[in-house]
Amino acid sequence: MMLQYMHMLFTKAKTDFLEYLEIEQNRSQKTIANYDHYLTRLSDYGGDINVEDINQELVRKWRLWLNRLGTNMNDELQKSTLNYHLIALRSFLKFCHKRNIPCLAPDTIELSRTRRPQVTFLNEDELARLFAQPDPNTLAGLRDRAILELLFSSGLRVSELVGLDRDHINLKRREFTVRGKGQKDRPVFISTEAAKWIQDYLDKRTDTTKPLFIRYGGRKTVDRTGNYHRLTARSVQRLVAHYALLAGITKHVSPHTMRHSFATNLLMNGADLRSVQAMLGHSNISTTQIYTHVTDPHLRAVHEKFHHM
């Protein structure tokens, strides 16, 4: 069996790997496209070589090439972006190893050291100021208030939020299921306040369009059938940043800041890390651990209050 694959070309093995991700691993199209993009950069650098020719020296030179590739914003790729390429290569090599295709050992691909990301979150005063900015007397303002409340109440990713339809969300029970990264389903719970604002927004709508949040204004508000277009992730990012500016918040605020605020609020009020991990939809607890240093002052207060001689 080994001889059959002795000289398999990288591009052929890559195609097999991407099909494996789709069919056997049930990965999302976006994930597959990302892996394709990262692995294509290896053939951009080294050409269509045989899989067995991918060695430590080639990987070292490829990393150097990637590091100097740069982006529109920077002369060098960020370490995290570089790691995405290496993770894709490692997954590809694991696939080859399983298929008895001679290849470099996957565990020899070491990731670059990265700094732990700085978590930005809003305190109660900042959240109150932010929520007060949209004008509830307009339909767009009602929608925006509902979006802000939902982001903070649920910890949803912006891609998950814009993918919601009206019939996805149960406002009476204040819970629903969302499909997140890796096609994993998780339960989402929302506050009475968030449910109220969503209901107020839906009550004022006169259309029967399926998406929960729709676009108002602009040339492409309605499609050919008269249905409103779904609000995009980019639009939500813009509106969150706009209201933060109006609220006089100087830090950079995005939908992900609201997700950080959701997680931090839970931890500061005594939630355990595993529960927060489940509510955020993190597959690995180490991802959730970026929030632990945020709660350090809270832990200090607990220590001083309860730890006595």
Nearest Cα to 42, choosing from 71, 78, 13? 13
Question: Is 20 known to be catalytic?
Answer: no
Contact 102, 136 (CB under 8 A): no
Question: Is 7 known to be catalytic?
Answer: no
Question: Is 219 known to be catalytic?
Answer: no
Contact 194, 149 (CB under 8 A): yes
Looking at 35, 201, 228, 291, which residue is catalytic? 291
Question: Is 291 known to be catalytic?
Answer: yes
Looking at 181, 205, 210, 298, which residue is catalytic? 181
Q: How far is CA 156 from CA 60, 174, 300, in A?
A: 38, 14, 29
Looking at 145, 230, 260, 282, which residue is catalytic? 282
Looking at 63, 90, 145, 259, which residue is catalytic? 259
Q: How far is CA 124 from CA 113, 118, 166, 254, 265, in A?
A: 34, 19, 29, 16, 9
Question: Is 259 known to be catalytic?
Answer: yes
Looking at 157, 215, 230, 260, which residue is catalytic? 157
Question: Is 63 known to be catalytic?
Answer: no
Looking at 41, 174, 256, 298, which residue is catalytic? 256
Catalytic residues: 157, 181, 256, 259, 282, 291
